[in-house]
Amino acid sequence: MFEQYHRPFDRSKWNMSGYEVNASYNPSTNDITFPAAILQRPFYDLKQTVSQNYGGIGSVIAHEISHAFDNNGANFDELGNMKNWWTQRDYKSFQSLTQKMIDQFDGISYMGRKVNGALVVNENIADVGGLACALEVAKSEPNFNCKVFFVNWALNWRIKSTKQINEMLLSVDVHSPAPLRCNIIAQDMDDLYKAFDIKKTDGMWLDKTQRLNIW
Ligand SMILES: [Zn+2]
């Protein structure tokens, strides 16, 4: 990395290794990276249905693209230069929605501690935008099954971790804890309520006025 200092930027370099189950967006190159290892179940499989694949890798791809328009990526232009390309009116409205996103997660109890809404806001913006986009495209498929789509979205977030790791992640990780990413972001989608027949008295119910969608 030191050798690259003051050299022309090498856009052919991969952001991570092929064996990692992960994905990323880089604002200073405006590119997305998907290592080979994430292209397997539950994210993607030829034998999975279209609804499963959209709830899986579809939502991840859309998440990474949405990072280009989160509160961080929004400061970079299409070439990866830090530049303000917003109209004043749009940016103001975006900032107010960003604050709502902070408020939606801030202070939620998790494993005896509380979520820091400001720390996780850019990932939540990418999650809500990504899931909404994947859902919109998936709905145009002839045999779309909304329930299957959301079940596979949930499978993306299965995790096993110790109490200590959870506590450490809560204080430094820019991602919300996986179960919260799974449930709260899904609660922001109107289609969830229809697919699972969720009523006001159910635990997953979130009032329509509190559901968030930035894009
Ligand atoms: Zn992300």
Interval 69-94: pLDDT, tens: 888 888 999 988 999 999 999 999 99
* 3 labelled catalytic: no
Interval 2-61: pLDDT, tens: 888 898 878 888 889 999 999 999 998 899 999 999 999 999 999 999 999 999 999 999
Q: For residue 43, which of 119, 120, 154 has the smallest C-alpha distance?
A: 154
d(CA 62, CA 174): 18
61 alpha carbon to ligand 1 midpoint, in Å? 10
Q: Which of 3, 10, 31, 64 is catalytic?
A: 64
As beta bridge partners, residue 25 has: 32
For 71-96, give one letter per residue: b (16+ CB within 10 A) or e: bbbbebeeebeeeeeeeeeeeeebee
Joined together, the tokens standing for residue 138 give 């998936």
Residue 137, pLDDT score: 97
pLDDT confidence tier of residue 156, bands split at 50, 70 and 90:
very high
63 alpha carbon to ligand 1 midpoint, in Å? 6
Above 80 in pLDDT, residue 215? no
* 64 labelled catalytic: yes
65 alpha carbon to ligand 1 midpoint, in Å? 9
